[in-house]
Structure formats: structure tokens, C-alpha cells
Amino acid sequence: MAKKTQKETDIIFYIHRFNPDVDSKPYTQKYTIRVEPGMTVLDGLHLIKETQDATLSYRFSCRMGVCGSCGMLLNGRPSLACNTQILDITMKNLTVAPLPNFNIVKDLVPELTPLFEKHISIHPYVIQNKTDEMLDPTGEFYQSPEELTKYLQFSYCIKCGLCMAACPTLATDSEYLGPQPMLQSYRYSIDTRDDGFDKRKKVVGNTHGVFRCHYAGECSNVCPKGVDPARAIQLMKRELVLDYLKIKKHRSTSFIMGKPEGVKRRPEIPKAPPFTVEQK
């Protein structure tokens, strides 16, 4: 964004309103507020709620782009309201709508349940074959920095649902998994501690799975954390195809790094306090 000389401006907010108890479909309401440089859209919504209309509903929590609660459609583009400065995207009118491709609960609040249900369906956790080790650990699973880099980018996802709102396939196909869950399936499958690829490929390799992505690329454009779901989905496709053609290189799983031997405790480090619960 180019540096502009910004000063206080009157901005007209066109906010989509919907009250399930009263309205049959959403309508637009107009508010005008005085916007200072540096004000985010969320600040603007707060100002409207405080000074003009207390019935306005929107979801927010951390107001610093970490929790992923305040995803909204700002001038036709899914963005985090707390992460977007008003004067960066408009000098006159601002349309604020709830995220598309989700049901509207009220005003600007989308129902994110489908996102989380799909997220759960791809087993978003490390699946280990070494069950004995999992129940009774003897050491740590070793992972090199290179192995970490392969999935670290994809683990920064905050599950705000912006990618799901931007995806053209999800606009018509509600069974489609969507960028976020497929990103997670790659993030866990590529993790060297994980053995769950065979379990996940059944979910992401089905009719409404990873192959319904045609790289419109919008998910990566709107992602507020630079997580790049489009890249993960293409890499997941590659894994699935290599697996089908039986030319997938066998990836070694992490070995268990035992406790270091022959090391003395440094005297300045105090001993751990005694257990407060009885040991088996």
C-alpha cells in the first residue's frame, strides 16, 4: 500500500443487517462516521455501536489479528476487520458484509460450524503408529529444521474462515472440503512425526476433496497470516498422485531421541520440587 497523506474523513458504512427473529432476508443500513488515520474497520464498527446503533452485532475477540473471529467481507474482499485500516481500502464508501459461503447467524456473524466440522474430518492431529511410545514416552521424536520448515508455514493458520469465503468452488458445492481443512491435511501428512497419510487420503482424495481445487488462488490472496492454502493443496495433490502411481518416496518417520547420557547437572540449576500428587 502506497504511503498516502491521510487525514480525518467522513466515511459512509453500508452494513449488511439481518435479524433472524424479524427479517426474512438481509438488508443494508447506512452509517456515517468520522474516521481518523489508523482506525481499523473494527474500530469503526465499535464507534457505530457506541454512538449510533447498539443493536449492531459482530464477532470479535483479540482485535489484533490473532484470534480470527472478525472475518468480514470488506468492499467485496474477505478480510479481518481488525487487520484492515479503513483509509487503506477506501476514501468514501465501505461495504461491510458477513463472510459469504457461511450461513448468517445475525448481522455480520457467520456460522463457522461447517469449517470446524470439515477441519475435524481430516484428522487434524499427529497420528503415530508407535502406540507404546505414545502411552509411555521414553524420549522425544527427533525433527530436523528442514523437516520443520516443510510444514511450519501451514501451521500458522488461525481458522478465521476467510479462505473458505473466497473459494469459488465452495460458493456452489457445500460438500467440498475447502482450503483450510485440505491445508491441514497436508500440514499433518508432511509432518515427520505423523503416520496418518493413509487415513487422510481417504478423506481428501474423494469426490468432493482436493481435486475440486482448480487454483483460483483466492485463498492465498486473502489469508491474513500468509499461510498459503493454495500451495498446500497443490502439494497434497502431488502426494496423492505419487501415492497412486506408486512412485511416492518413502518418508522416514522421526526416530526417538533418548535422554542424553553421561551429563552432569549444573550446580546452579535447582532441583525440581517434590511431587504434589502420589506417583504410581
Partner 1 sequence: MDEHKKYPNKLGIIGWLGGGRWGIERYLYTLHRITGLGILLYFCLHIFVTSSRLFGMNAWEKWMGFFKSPIFKMGEFLVFVGFAFHALNGIRLILIEFGFAVGKAEEPVYPYKSSLNTQRPLMVIVMVVAAVLIVAGGYQFLGFVH
Partner 2 sequence: MKETRYWTWHMLAGIVILFLLGIHMITMHLDAILGWFNPAGGEAVDWGNVVARAKMAIYAVIYIALLAAALYHGFYGFRTILFELGLKHGAQSIINILFVVMGICLFVLGSWVAIKFHVIAQIA
User: Concatenated DSSP letters for 44-80?
Assistant: HHHHHHHHT-TT-----SSSSSSS---EEEETTEEEE
Cα 83 off chain centre by: 14
> Rounded to an integer, what distance in angstroms lies between the CA atom of residue 124 and that of residue 117?
11
E runs forming strands in 112-214: 140-141
Query: Among 106-114, 129-137, 200-208, 258-266, which window interacts with partner 1 (CB under 8 A)?
Result: 106-114
Q: Which of 217, 248, 251, 253 binds partner 1 (CB under 8 A)?
A: 217
| Closest separation in Å from C-beta 221 to partner 2 | 20
Asked whether position 37 contacts partner 1 by CB under 8 A, the answer is no
Cell of 230: 493454495
Q: How many Cβ atoms are within 10 Å of 85's Cβ, its own excluded?
A: 16
Q: In the window 121-160, what residues touch partner 1 (CB under 8 A)?
A: 149-154, 156
| Residue 123 vs 225, nearer CB to partner 1 | 225
- Summarize as ranges the residues that interact with partner 2 (CB under 8 A): 169, 172-176, 201-202, 205-209, 211-212, 237, 240-241, 243-245
| Closest separation in Å from C-beta 215 to partner 1 | 5
| Closest separation in Å from C-beta 214 to partner 2 | 8
- Is-contact 235 228, C-beta < 8 A? no
| Closest separation in Å from C-beta 205 to partner 2 | 5
Which DSSP helix (H) or strand (E) runs through 97? strand 93-97
Cell of 239: 502426494
- Is-contact 229 223, C-beta < 8 A? yes
Mask of contacts with partner 1, 221-260, x by CB under 8 A? x-x-xxxx-xxx-xx-xx--x-------------------
| Interacting residues toward partner 1 by CB under 8 A | 18, 20-21, 25-26, 75-77, 98-106, 110-111, 149-154, 156, 168, 170-172, 174, 214-218, 220-221, 223, 225-228, 230-232, 234-235, 237-238, 241
